[in-house]
Structure 1
Amino acid sequence: MKSIRALLRHLLSSRLTLSLLTCLLSVGLIQPTMANPIAADEVSVAPLLNGETIPDIQLFDSKGKSVSLKALSAQKPTVFFFYRGGWCPFCNNQLGQLKEIEPKLIELGYQLVGISPDSPAKLAEAAGERKLDYLLLSDANMDAARAFGLAFFTSEKTTQTYLSRMKLENPLFKTPEGDERLVLPVPAVYITDTQGLVHFQYVNPNFRVRPAPKLILTAAELARQQG
């Protein structure tokens, strides 16, 4: 089943008129306020694209304080990155790479914000161990991952493997078939302005591949020039 965002894109690409879209909304075939469904797998996600605006989602920082993504991005241009959790070696490598380029991002006027399913306590632990200065936010209920179109169900085998080997405490979600599965975000990077408008996005279903720090810096520089 396609997400609401994917359906709207299809309709618009088919040159349907605004009146027809309004009709579909009025009869309930499209629900714009509905949360995006969780994708069946990592290659089926429908991520937020360049030119779209980030959703206003409330998350929690490492101290358990509620943080609005909209209000946060309004403070200054932001580099948001979604990662799977502090248990993931590829994510830990990315956390370190971003730490190295954070001073240059700050010089460009950006703030760096990481989002993962980890609990606030896990975030605090990770920040302390790795001496991270940038903000980490907890998306345990996958609200942000779903709103950005990044959330997906892991397979039964992957769910059992991660729960047993990684000792994850993440909540499980029910699939349309009624099976309980682990839900993760496809790793992604978003660069936004103070209006919450996306100027750059990198989304890769292959969790082993993350964008090079130089690519993120170049994209940030270009986005600032556009702003």
Structure 2
Amino acid sequence: MTPLADRLDEINRSLDPAWDALYDGFVADLRAAGAAAGSPAVGDGLEPFALPDSRGRYVSSRDLLAEGPVVLSFYRGGWCPYCRTEMAAWSESASEVRRLGACFVAVTGETGGGAEALRQRLDLGGLILVDVDHGLALRMGLAVRVSDRVRAAYLGIGRDLARHYGSDAWFIPVPATYVVDRHGIVRFAEADVDFRRRAEPEAVLQVLRDIGG
């Protein structure tokens, strides 16, 4: 299986230099502001939640953890090529996640059917939960506001995040991946404001192997 990092690098190499520079500036500003610095770390307890899945059925963290460990992955939306690539990699790893007694749960603020469309397109093998108005992401320190420059650039190519998220606040989640054991304790945590980088599925799978079901 091709490492996720290599697949993401392909996207980076195809990126217009102007967009690359724009993203570099946005990421630098987020780092300087300490964005996501307070997000969950290894050893922390998971923030309890109940969210609708992409088909409208409510799912609680308590019910998920009653079945075993959870891989929890926050992504920006199906409109993001980095996210589509990441979710495709997780689709390929879905059978191994299940074999290890865990479940894969993706979380996005994308509304209006976008989450379900991506789940069906990728045959994801897990749940996608819809974090309306980024409420869970905000509580976990994973929501940031899009800069004015990035917002203008997105609107210039017809990418209206207000439409994707059903809100004109222009918040966006920081991509993050966690492994949470059945006791609700975070055993792996990776949150990076540079959305061009994501946790490697194989590293997550190894944590699941180490902790067992």
| In structure 2, distance between residues paired with 1:88 and 1:211 | 16
For residue 82 of structure 1, the aligned residue among 58, 74, 80 is 74
Deviation at 1:163? Answer: 4.3
SS at match of 2:113: helix
2:35 maps to: 44
2:172 maps to: 184
Trace 1:125-136 onto structure 2 (pairs within 5 A): 125-136=117-128
| In structure 2, distance between residues paired with 1:158 and 1:60 | 29
Q: Which runs of 5+ in 2 are unaligned?
A: 1-28
2:108 maps to: 116
For residue 63 of structure 1, the aligned residue among 55, 68, 71 is 55
Instruction: Output the amino acid matched with 2:168.
Output: L
For residue 185 of structure 2, the aligned residue among 192, 197, 221 is 197
| Conserved 8 A contact 1:79-1:110 | yes
CA RMSD of aligned residues (A): 1.8
Task: Give the TM-score of the pair, scaled to structure 2.
Answer: 0.77
Instruction: Output the amino acid matched with 1:134.
Output: G
Deviation at 1:69? Answer: 2.2
Instruction: Output the amino acid matched with 2:150.
Output: T
Higher radius of gyration, 1 or 2 = 1
SS at match of 1:214: helix
| In structure 1, distance between residues paired with 2:208 and 2:155 | 36
| Conserved 8 A contact 1:57-1:143 | no
SS at match of 2:47: coil
Q: Which runs of 5+ in 1 are unaligned?
A: 1-39, 174-181
1:52-110 per-residue CA deviation (whole Å, 9 max, x = no partner) reads: 11112221111112221232223211000000000000000000101111111111111
Instruction: Output the amino acid matched with 2:203.
Output: L
Trace 1:152-191 onto structure 2 (pairs within 5 A): 152-164=144-156, 165-168=158-161, 169=163, 170=165, 171-173=167-169, 182-191=170-179
1:222 maps to: 210
Task: Give the TM-score of the pair, scaled to structure 1.
Answer: 0.73
Higher helix proportion, which one?
2
Deviation at 1:44? Answer: 2.0
1:210 maps to: 198
Trace 1:12-23 onto structure 2 (pairs within 5 A): none
Report sequence identity in percent.
29
Flag the structure with more relative contact order, 1 or 2, with Cα contacts below 8 A and sequence separation at least 6: 2
Pair 1:148 & 2:172 matched: no
1:121-158 per-residue CA deviation (whole Å, 9 max, x = no partner) reads: 11111112222221001012111111221111111122
